[in-house]
């Protein structure tokens, strides 16, 4: 017959101070574990949502980001004429030839950071349905007007509506602010491609984005681009392109998070172990009585293990509860891979909840196993005598 769970629960309640201390140790570990995973998940989510499945990004072969790439006008017009390119509303091809450069802007709070300036064409806007204007108006083609993403408007100084920036011996006026949701575009500045190229003396485009007329046509367009001897370009699906950009950072965060939490969990496991050993030591008499009443060794083992697992559940739950508030926080940092500013939110996914709870149960289990074994191995006579 099993010892009821309420026995274990009441024991935890009886020694509140110890329980609270042990649980808070575990909760902190789970908090760190969940927070780091949430950061990696948020980064990846942001970059994945930036891309769209039926868009294709074309960059120069070997370049890992748009900033490094260069496509001259002749090559760009060859790609533009591919049969796989979708035709938009007024019979125009949905192709945008864009230029991407980095400029240093003063960040609110501390120092300068690199911000992406993207020179876009009219087709760029229907290609990115996530981008929505929230204040002001769109820039006029052929003018020195720019619009900025909301993360930039919030995080940097001097880029509010009607703010001006100086580069390329010209003054650029901010006429609009756009919201691109949880995507990388929210951390960009957009202007007319021809004006931006002229200002930065860049005779070449950085990348070319087009929409496929049929999502299944990607392999055909890829082969057409990469086997054409006139082109030194490569094509990637937009989702893939942005996922690749998040890979290094996300991996760095995950490895950092995992190694940290493994080290930290040693502390929390030791805490649980100390608590459970003393729980056993204080209750030798009780254990003896229960054994004398006819409870089996494995029931005793189960009862103490349950107590330790309960510690794990409470610790995990508390840690996750506090970690879930991290979702209100937006982090803005430089992505090592593209060397440009990117804002993203901590994101709690079901998978992370599951991982964190498993993790804290494992901590409880490891911490409780040895003490529970000791309790179950006691001889009835010794236990009763010790009491």
Partner 1 sequence: MLQLKILFRNAFHNKLRSGLTILGITVAVLAFGLLRTVIGAWYAGVDAASASRLVTRNAISIIFPLPIAYNEKIRQIAGVKLVSYGNWFGGIYVNEKNFFPNFCVEPRTYMAIYPEFVLSPPEKKAFFSDRKGFVAGRKLAARFGWKIGDQVTLKGTIFPGNWDFVLRGIYRGRDQTVDETQFFFHWDYLNETMKRVSPGRAEQVGFYMITVARPDLAPDVALSVDRAFKNSLAETLTETEKAFNQGFIAMSGAIVTAIQMVSFVVILIIMAVVANTMAMTTRERIGDYAIMKTLGFGGGSIAVMIFGESLVIALTGCLTGMILTFPAAKAFGQALSNFFPIFIVSAETLWLDLLAAFLIAFFAAIIPARHAVRVGIAEGLRRIG
By CB under 8 A, residue 273 contacts partner 1 = yes
Give yes or no for a contact between 79 and 234, defined as CB atoms under 8 angstroms apart: no
Residue 232 beta carbon to partner 1: minimum distance, rounded to whole angstroms: 7
Q: Which of 12, 25, 139, 237 binds partner 1 (CB under 8 A)?
A: 25
Residue 330 beta carbon to partner 1: minimum distance, rounded to whole angstroms: 10
The nearer residue to partner 1, 136 or 163, going by C-beta atoms, is 163
By CB under 8 A, residue 384 contacts partner 1 = no
Comparing CA positions, the residue from 70, 72, 65 lying closest to residue 114 is 65
Rg of the chain (C-alpha set): 30
- Give the x/- contact pattern for partner 1 in 107-146, rule: CB under 8 A: x--xxxxx--------------------------------
By CB under 8 A, residue 364 contacts partner 1 = no
**Residue 94 — left, alpha, or beta (φ > 0 → left; ψ -120 to 50 → alpha)?**
beta
In angstroms, the first-to-last Cα distance of the chain is: 24
By CB under 8 A, residue 268 contacts partner 1 = yes
Q: What is the DSSP letter of 92?
A: -
**Residue 10: C-alpha distances to residues 178, 307, 309, 374 (Å):** 56, 9, 14, 21
The nearer residue to partner 1, 88 or 317, going by C-beta atoms, is 317
Q: Which of 232, 289, 299, 355 binds partner 1 (CB under 8 A)?
A: 232
How many residues contact partner 1, by CB under 8 A?
Answer: 56
Q: Which of 88, 160, 168, 317 binds partner 1 (CB under 8 A)?
A: 168
- Give the x/- contact pattern for partner 1 in 184-223, rule: CB under 8 A: ----------------xx-x--------------------
Q: Is 30 helix (H, G, I), strand (E, B) or coil?
A: helix
Comparing CA positions, the residue from 213, 212, 191 lying closest to residue 202 is 191
Strand ranges inside 6-123, DSSP E: 55-60, 95-106, 112-120
- Give the x/- contact pattern for partner 1 in 46-75, rule: CB under 8 A: --------------xxxxx--xx-------
By CB under 8 A, residue 264 contacts partner 1 = yes
Footprint on residues 299-358 left by partner 1 (CB under 8 A): 331-334, 336, 339, 341
Q: What is the DSSP letter of 173?
A: E
Residues 6+ positions from 281 with CB-CB distance below 8 Å: none
What is d(CA 54, CA 50) in angstroms, rounded to the nearest whole number? 12
- Give the x/- contact pattern for partner 1 in 75-104, rule: CB under 8 A: --------------------------xxxx
Residue 91 beta carbon to partner 1: minimum distance, rounded to whole angstroms: 35
The nearer residue to partner 1, 5 or 13, going by C-beta atoms, is 13
**Residue 64: C-alpha distances to residues 59, 69, 93, 236, 338 (Å):** 9, 8, 26, 11, 8
**Residue 362: C-alpha distances to residues 249, 261, 366, 375 (Å):** 28, 13, 6, 20
The nearer residue to partner 1, 185 or 264, going by C-beta atoms, is 264
Using a 10 angstrom Cβ sphere, with 0-12 exposed, 13-18 middle and 19 or more buried, the burial of residue 161 is: middle
Applying CB under 8 A, the span of 88-96, 212-220, 259-267, 294-302 interacting with partner 1 comes to 259-267
Binding site for partner 1 (CB under 8 A): 17-18, 21-22, 24-25, 28-29, 31-32, 39, 60-64, 67-68, 101-104, 107, 110-114, 167-169, 200-201, 203, 232, 256, 260, 263-264, 266-268, 270-271, 273-275, 277-278, 331-334, 336, 339, 341
């Amino acid at each position: 017959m099993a010892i009821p769970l309420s026995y274990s629960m009441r024991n935890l309640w009886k020694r509140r101070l110890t329980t609270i201390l042990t649980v808070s140790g575990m909760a902190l570990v789970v908090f760190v574990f969940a927070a780091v995973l949430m950061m990696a998940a948020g980064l990846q989510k942001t970059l994945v949502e930036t891309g769209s499945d039926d868009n294709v990004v074309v960059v120069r072969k070997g370049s890992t980001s748009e900033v490094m790439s260069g496509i001259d006008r002749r090559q760009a017009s060859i790609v533009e004429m591919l049969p796989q390119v979708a035709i938009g509303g007024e019979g125009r091809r949905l192709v945008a030839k864009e230029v991407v450069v980095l400029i240093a802007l003063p960040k609110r709070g501390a120092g300068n950071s690199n911000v992406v300036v993207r020179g876009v064409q009219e087709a760029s806007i229907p290609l990115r349905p996530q981008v929505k204007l929230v204040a002001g108006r769109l820039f006029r083609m052929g003018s020195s007007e720019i619009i900025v993403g909301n993360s930039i408007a919030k995080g940097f100084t001097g880029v509010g509506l009607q703010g001006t920036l100086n580069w390329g011996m010209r003054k650029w006026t901010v006429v609009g602010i756009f919201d691109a949701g949880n995507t990388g575009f929210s951390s960009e500045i957009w202007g007319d491609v021809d004006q931006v190229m002229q200002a930065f003396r860049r005779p070449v485009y950085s990348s070319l984005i087009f929409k496929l007329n049929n999502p299944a046509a990607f392999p055909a367009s890829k082969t057409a681009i990469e086997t054409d001897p006139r082109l030194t370009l490569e094509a990637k699906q937009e989702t893939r392109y942005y996922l690749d950009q998040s890979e290094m950072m996300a991996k760095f965060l995950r490895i950092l998070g995992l190694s940290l939490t493994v080290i930290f969990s040693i502390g929390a496991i030791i805490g649980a172990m100390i608590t459970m050993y003393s729980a056993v030591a204080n209750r030798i008499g009780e254990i003896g009585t229960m054994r004398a009443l006819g409870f089996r060794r494995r029931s005793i083992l189960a009862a103490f293990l349950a107590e330790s697992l309960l510690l794990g559940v409470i610790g995990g739950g508390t840690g996750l509860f506090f970690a879930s508030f991290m979702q209100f926080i937006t982090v803005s940092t430089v992505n090592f891979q593209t060397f440009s500013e990117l804002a993203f939110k901590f994101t709690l996914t079901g998978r992370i909840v599951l991982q964190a709870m498993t993790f804290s149960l494992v901590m409880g289990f490891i911490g409780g196993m040895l003490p529970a074994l000791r309790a179950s191995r006691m001889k009835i006579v010794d236990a009763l005598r010790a009491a």
